[in-house]
A and B are shown apart, each in its own frame.
Chain A
């Protein structure tokens, strides 16, 4: 059954062999600037970024090869962009690199089949390792779900709060612009999120510690001093007596 080609596609098809593919790259920097590049001639295609028709500039020289794997190594490949267009003072790509940060830019690469108006492959990634020279710029295109850049159990137990100020976990709607992550700050009226404070505060002065267990391997946080000063009532494991206290504010009793 005959199939109607999308508008503007006939000209492209006429230029290409029946199943030839082209590369379409949608790119958005962190500041929101968008670029649409192809290795074909200037043409309009539906963008994955905007969902609307966009004019793709013929700036892509080569794409890939992409290395895809089923283990947890990061998929990726290289993109080579021309750096010839523009004027004698400022070339287009050089100007883009100068004015916008491409590190981490969202990139959606499609291997597009004009005949079918469909993608044979779609790769979502981000840009890294930009290497410009006189005539071209090389970008490293890496898998968007780049697990190697993340850790688990990365939050630490600390006397300071580890939430980003005004994040969902912080919950502050206070008038203050910044937060130094300390409890008194969290508690004040301009932050007002003391219930969401996730730090662990310093223990009370040693005088408040009454008859702790006799076998203790680690005792720290005697008030605000950096000097190890166990309470007279404490029986301290000799191996740790006299060692400098860690100024952590913890009263840690290691039972292991």
Chain B
């Protein structure tokens, strides 16, 4: 998700996982040498860091402290004063303030992740406005073991830990310090921990982290909220992205995976109130049967395929990888381009390389640390093409046909009732997988003949409590 610019009164964005953001430009001062000092508020801390930064459309060296200072959004250091003293990595006052006129009041922007740049004059800039865009690793979150012992406070793409962080940040631990959260053992009291079923969160986190045959984790990604939203909407989105659901059981907030599991109780006729069993399909008429998943693609868009394993599309020798695209295709890259290798058969080749040499239109090389190996498959694309807005549409054709009667002597047609779902920052494979899960879970198997699922209501004498169940 791209975080657009906003001014006073705008929400301070909250983000999880990887995002591409411009930020809220609060200072843009041109100096006598035509260089500029600019400050961008990014979001609520603590953010982890920068993956890539582009200034005026050119990839910048984010580690160059004469150019860029990233501040994670820690709490300001009490007693440290407001004299410029920092090149980033903390929440002291940035050294670039000393380049600004004296009547600018230096600040720490406590608990705000922000970027300060000192961009030299750039005659080759595509426009006369300063444009700074970054790929950022956003919120650091608390991570626990099954017993509730905090094991880390770190950046995570795991939706289970992101859900827990939302619950802690918004409900249980609203007043906290970054230092406390990062301290050994964390900052939650025993009473606060008693409100969380850590075993359940750990189980879900492990499921999310399970690596599939494709090499991708089962569920991971990122979401960003550049403006205020209801917590249920945010939790609902993250739960959807991880196929989990959140309950409060006996005072404990519990995250459960939405998956097949063993029965814990067999309800028989002895439990069911006579005549209370009802099974209907009443909700099917207006049911959504076209699922439109929108997301920003975490993977680069394809420039060219990588040749097959048999044709040695990928070869790594002495920490230099050679990439070859199939006959009939050209890669189109130039030296120093940043290129992503996506979904190779051997996952150790996946990642970003900088093009060192362009051997020919089909072959190029780049540095990549790893054991000597050969592989192939997947594709290559530019790193800058990540976060492209993409859409995946999944239809339940059997249901569309079932509700598509047109009239006498007319065959039913496919009647579509669409629903759009925001998957944040994700991948096509994962979005497709989750959409298929939602499709089948809501409407049953997309097969012919179509048998729609029942919705059943049962009243049972469980000590005067009424529960409803859907099956």
Stretch at the interface among B108-116, B213-221, B448-456: B108-116
CB within 8 Å of B: which A103-150 residues: 108, 111, 119-124, 143-145, 147-148, 150
Q: Is A31 an interface residue (CB 8 A)?
A: no
How far is it, in angstroms, between the C-alpha of A192 and the C-alpha of B76 when the chains are bound? 12
How far is it, in angstroms, between the C-alpha of A124 and the C-alpha of B247 when the chains are bound? 12
Q: Is B261 an interface residue (CB 8 A)?
A: no
How far is it, in angstroms, between the C-alpha of A94 and the C-alpha of B5 when the chains are bound? 53
Q: Is A248 an interface residue (CB 8 A)?
A: yes
A255 in contact with B9 (CB, 8 Å): no
Distance between A200 CB and nearest chain B CB, rounded to angstroms? 6
Q: Is A204 an interface residue (CB 8 A)?
A: yes
Distance between B239 CB and nearest chain A CB, rounded to angstroms? 8
Q: Is A56 an interface residue (CB 8 A)?
A: no
Checking A164, A195, A213, A250 against B78 with a beta-carbon cut-off of 8 angstroms, the contacting residue is: A195
Across chains A and B, the number of contacting residue pairs, with CB separation under 8 Å, is: 214
Scoring B residues 1 to 20 as 1 if CB is less than 8 Å from chain A, else 0, what string do you get?
A: 00011111111111000000
How far is it, in angstroms, between the C-alpha of A194 and the C-alpha of B82 when the chains are bound? 8
Q: Is A51 an interface residue (CB 8 A)?
A: no
Checking B11, B177, B226, B235 against A155 with a beta-carbon cut-off of 8 angstroms, the contacting residue is: B11
Which interface class (under 10, 10 to 19, 20 to 34, 35 or more) fits A?
Answer: 35 or more
Distance between B373 CB and nearest chain A CB, rounded to angstroms? 44
Q: Chain A residues near B235 (CB, 8 Å)?
A: 72, 147
Distance between B31 CB and nearest chain A CB, rounded to angstroms? 7
Q: Is B25 an interface residue (CB 8 A)?
A: yes
CB within 8 Å of B: which A142-173 residues: 143-145, 147-148, 150-159, 164, 167-169, 171
Tell me the dominant secondary structure on chain A's binding face: loop
Stretch at the interface among B389-397, B400-408, B458-466: B458-466
A195 in contact with B76 (CB, 8 Å): yes
Stretch at the interface among B124-132, B353-361, B376-384: B124-132
Q: Is B185 an interface residue (CB 8 A)?
A: no
Tell me the dominant secondary structure on chain B's binding face: loop
Q: Is B176 an interface residue (CB 8 A)?
A: yes
Q: Chain B residues near A145 (CB, 8 Å)?
A: 167, 171, 248, 253
Checking A108, A151, A203 against B228 with a beta-carbon cut-off of 8 angstroms, the contacting residue is: A151
Q: Is A93 an interface residue (CB 8 A)?
A: no
CB within 8 Å of A: which B69-109 residues: 75-82, 91, 101, 103-105, 107-109
Q: Chain A residues near B462 (CB, 8 Å)?
A: 120
A111-B465, A156-B9, A169-B176 known; A147+B30 contact, CB < 8 A: no
How far is it, in angstroms, between the C-alpha of A151 and the C-alpha of B107 when the chains are bound? 27
Checking B77, B129, B167 against A255 with a beta-carbon cut-off of 8 angstroms, the contacting residue is: B129
B170 in contact with A152 (CB, 8 Å): yes
A145-B253, A256-B4 known; A195+B80 contact, CB < 8 A: yes
Q: Is B27 an interface residue (CB 8 A)?
A: yes
Residues of B within 8 A of A (CB): 4-14, 22, 24-32, 34, 41, 44, 75-82, 91, 101, 103-105, 107-112, 127-131, 166-167, 170-171, 175-177, 180, 225-232, 234-236, 245-248, 250-251, 253, 462-467
User: What are some 27 contacts across the A-B interface (CB < 8 A)?
Assistant: A111-B465, A122-B251, A123-B250, A124-B250, A145-B167, A148-B230, A152-B230, A153-B229, A156-B12, A157-B12, A157-B24, A169-B175, A183-B105, A195-B77, A196-B75, A196-B76, A198-B109, A198-B110, A199-B107, A203-B104, A211-B30, A211-B34, A213-B130, A215-B128, A248-B8, A250-B26, A253-B25
